[in-house]
Chain A
């Protein structure tokens, strides 16, 4: 009974928007899926497969934004290289999908992907071994970004690289990876990346049901990660993380090994980004080195900034809104999108330090008698 009233009160619990968020996500996913699968085409309620794929893409972006928000909004670490973790997860999934093509490729080689045949390779490189197993690929989706984040975070946080320096070297990290992945010799398809996928676990990637299933899976993962992130950040660990954001030195003087907390959160965030990439690739059908471009990584920081950092749902709202706007505007005004994106950067940082979700609070604060509120010290 108690639980039921909680559910009805929809987030009247202070600071807890988890339940309504998950409920809305669940409802929308269900409606969209049913609208695609059950409602016949031509009906006004029919949701096209294109829309489903688009929604799935947005949701995996939202998952990525969530990963950035966890590390930036709650720990004050502005990573300009999260696209790297996203792309690494995507590449792991892409390699699995590539191996699933089998002999249906252009060259009909049952083992080697097309681009390797094209480059006259005669055997799979060692890092492709095991990628035909789904469980192994999923393991890599989590493991590779996690490992990179661990090594990078360990080095960076132990030598107390902070603030702008950290942002710049994360940017350099993704830039270096981009240059490396653009090389044909790397064994990841070079410039073209991995594409031409056929099926996933035996399900045809082009069929409506697979697409809806992927979309639903993405929504499920988003909900799950949201709840887990919420639990982490509400825990004692999360409190320390927020304390580090507001005054790392003080936390350190209290006896906490702050770098361990930061490394832990950074790895978690990278793993989430990797999962987002793995969900993104089968829905979009391609992964290429462009995902490592510094611009992409910075763009996703804007999603979070527009939505409002430091609130998990803000990141999701921002990712969905900006990407929807991007889809619309690049169609209407192909040349204007960079103006809009650039303008968003400037306007949001100047006028909406707490993002769109903070706008309500900003407006309310204007009409209420001034009450000293603490600015987040980032």
Chain B
């Protein structure tokens, strides 16, 4: 009976121990966190090591904040909070809760201090933590970060990780790191050569530098040097390829700006035979509309662009209709005179903007989702604003084609452009069609201005710098042909960007202009001339 009792108490105690252990672990992490605010700098490292041994997922934000000197505690209740990582100030985020602690000012908190020795430890600890983080992207980034500081210790760690890794991309990154280490410091030549060959697929800068060092290393075995040179060549080829892709992307984004600028010209000239020299100013009006809209809604910059696009269309479009009604309709069939009159209008509009908004350039703030870039690999990253403008231009193009092909307005516009007299005889109000066409062309230029305002500063000369290029696009593509305009804009944009590294910006522009002048000699009606009776 005594034994039984002892057994029961033993069991109870074991159970109790087991139970309390879980609760105890939770509180131990929190308890140690609490100690962090009171520990002296000398004690902190031991405390942090103990914390790391706990393996809690909340360590990463904690160490990160501590390492960057953004860790604070609330003086009232010792709760740990992290400051905003970008600015290092409020708003604060609770380390344990992960929520933003509102209504906390800098006076309520005190900083958790670190010294250089701690920072060194934290740096390593962060690397270890990141290597085992749950998010594969963090793991890949951590592996890539290690590439330049590989040593026997880290490699052993990576090797162990590789055995358990499930994610293919992380595996690849780990393989690169392991191969890089083997390539540099294995004592068997065959292994090194094999590793170097395996590295030729990597685009990491550290790999590229290491291979370059190996290729030049006089003490390395011949086979290793040859293999390194070979792999390096393949890597360089990849880099060249991606730099071409990058140039192509830049060319396409320039082309999409040209496209937005040239659409309106293509429509108005194709349908009405009007060369609108004030077209550049429609771009400018669109850009200024964006600026004004942002001034009107300063607290909603991210949303303002959705207001700005229709507003720009309306503003530029109605100015276009006004110009058509007041000036252009009196100059029908006299393209050279419309050219002069609209040039006069462009001067007046520019001066008007200068008077109203000052001659200085204005900055339009880009929404958050437009800034930054899309990092595809170490050799290629595409900026979001250019990417979105490219997509935007294509959407506008699609919408325009739909309007021209599927709506009754489009039908009438095409009828008028093919045979004005006949269309009029069939009962189409050509006056009305003219005004709407001109408004549509100007409105699209206004939308183009919104896109432009995201790329450059907004100033009174904005339109001038694009007008000649847009003319070139229209002339090159064949007047009045939307597909021609599309092809011409992208061709010119890409040609410009590919010439630039060879000849310099200015000469590239000049060469493109000279090319077009020569091109027009050969095909005076552009790439895709209008055929049939409609032409001339």
Chain A interface (Cβ within 8 Å of chain B)? 78, 152, 155-156, 158-161, 163-165, 167-169, 171-173, 175-176, 179-180, 182-183, 294-295, 298, 301-302, 305, 335-336, 338-339, 341-346, 348-350, 353, 378
Contacts and interface: CB of A to CB of B under 8 A. Distances in A.
Given A164-B339, A343-B348, A169 B506 contact: no
A295 B350 CA distance: 13
B347 A342 contact: yes
Nearest to A335: B355
Interface string B455-475: 000000000100010011001
Contact of A161 (B331, B336, B513, B521): B521
11 contacts: A152-B517, A155-B518, A164-B336, A172-B513, A176-B509, A294-B468, A298-B340, A298-B343, A335-B351, A342-B346, A349-B344
A335 B356 CA distance: 12
B336 A78 contact: yes
Contacts of B348: 338-339, 342-343, 346
Contacts of A155: 517-518, 521
Interface string B261-288: 0000000010000010000000000000
Top 5 closest A-B pairs, CB basis? A345-B344, A342-B347, A342-B348, A338-B351, A176-B513
B520 interface: yes
B506 A164 contact: no
B330 interface: yes
B336 A346 contact: no
A363 B397 CA distance: 49
Given A179-B509, A298-B343, A169 B336 contact: no
A165 to B, nearest CB: 6
A15 to B, nearest CB: 24
Nearest to A345: B344
Given A183-B504, A345-B344, 9 more contacts: A164-B275, A168-B475, A172-B472, A173-B517, A180-B506, A183-B507, A342-B348, A344-B344, A349-B337
B113 interface: no
Interface string B424-452: 00000000000000000000000000000
Contact of B327 (A156, A344, A350): A350
Interface string B501-521: 000101101100110111011
A210 to B, nearest CB: 36
A295 B463 CA distance: 13
B344 A343 contact: yes
A350 B340 CA distance: 10
Contacts of B355: 335
B518 to A, nearest CB: 7
B310 interface: no
A271 to B, nearest CB: 21
Contact of B336 (A160, A179, A345, A378): A378
Contacts of B347: 338-339, 341-342, 345
Most chain B CB neighbours (cut-off 10 Å) among A172, A173, A183, A341: A172
A251 to B, nearest CB: 17
B152 to A, nearest CB: 54
A153 to B, nearest CB: 11
A78 B339 CA distance: 10
B344 A165 contact: no
A161 B348 CA distance: 30
A349 B509 contact: no
Contacts of A348: 340
A155 B515 CA distance: 13
Contacts of B61: none
Contacts of A295: 464
B341 A165 contact: no
Given A168-B475, A179-B509, A350-B331, A161 B351 contact: no
Contacts of B336: 78, 163-164, 167, 378
Contact of B340 (A182, A338, A339, A345): A345
Interface in B312-366: 327, 330-331, 334-341, 343-348, 350-352, 354-355
A81 to B, nearest CB: 10
Given A168-B471, A339-B351, A175 B518 contact: no
Contacts of B57: none
Contacts of A301: 340
B333 to A, nearest CB: 10
B513 A175 contact: yes
A171 B350 CA distance: 19
B338 to A, nearest CB: 8
B344 A172 contact: no
B327 A346 contact: yes
Contacts of A161: 520-521, 524
Contacts of A294: 468
B3 interface: no
B273 to A, nearest CB: 8
A308 to B, nearest CB: 14
Nearest to B524: A161
Nearest to A154: B521
Contacts of B346: 342
Nearest to A76: B336
A187 to B, nearest CB: 14
A335 B354 CA distance: 9
B471 to A, nearest CB: 5
B351 A159 contact: no
Contacts of B344: 302, 341-346, 349
Nearest to A298: B343
Nearest to B516: A172
Nearest to A378: B336
A237 B345 CA distance: 37
B6 interface: no
A169 B468 CA distance: 9
Contacts of B331: 349-350
Given A172-B471, A172-B516, A335-B355, A346 B341 contact: yes
A171 B522 contact: no
A179 B506 contact: yes
Contacts of A163: 335-336
Given A302-B340, A342-B346, A183 B524 contact: no
Given A165-B475, A344-B344, A160 B335 contact: no
Most chain A CB neighbours (cut-off 10 Å) among B331, B338, B348, B350: B348
A343 B341 CA distance: 9
Given A342-B344, A349-B331, A171 B468 contact: yes
Contact of B275 (A168, A342, A345, A353): A168
Contacts of B517: 152, 155, 169, 172-173, 176
A62 B346 CA distance: 25
Contact of A164 (B330, B335, B341, B354): B335
A346 B524 contact: no
Contacts of B471: 168, 171-172
A163 B337 CA distance: 11
B351 A169 contact: no
Nearest to A176: B513
B506 to A, nearest CB: 5
A342 B351 CA distance: 9
Contacts of A78: 336, 339
Contacts of B341: 345-346, 349-350
A78 B521 CA distance: 17
A350 B524 contact: no
Contacts of B506: 179-180, 182-183
Interface string B464-496: 100010011001000000000000000000000
Nearest to B460: A338
Nearest to B359: A335
A227 to B, nearest CB: 28
B36 to A, nearest CB: 61
Contacts of B475: 165, 168-169
A169 B343 contact: no
Interface string B351-384: 1101100000000000000000000000000000
Contacts of B339: 78, 164, 167
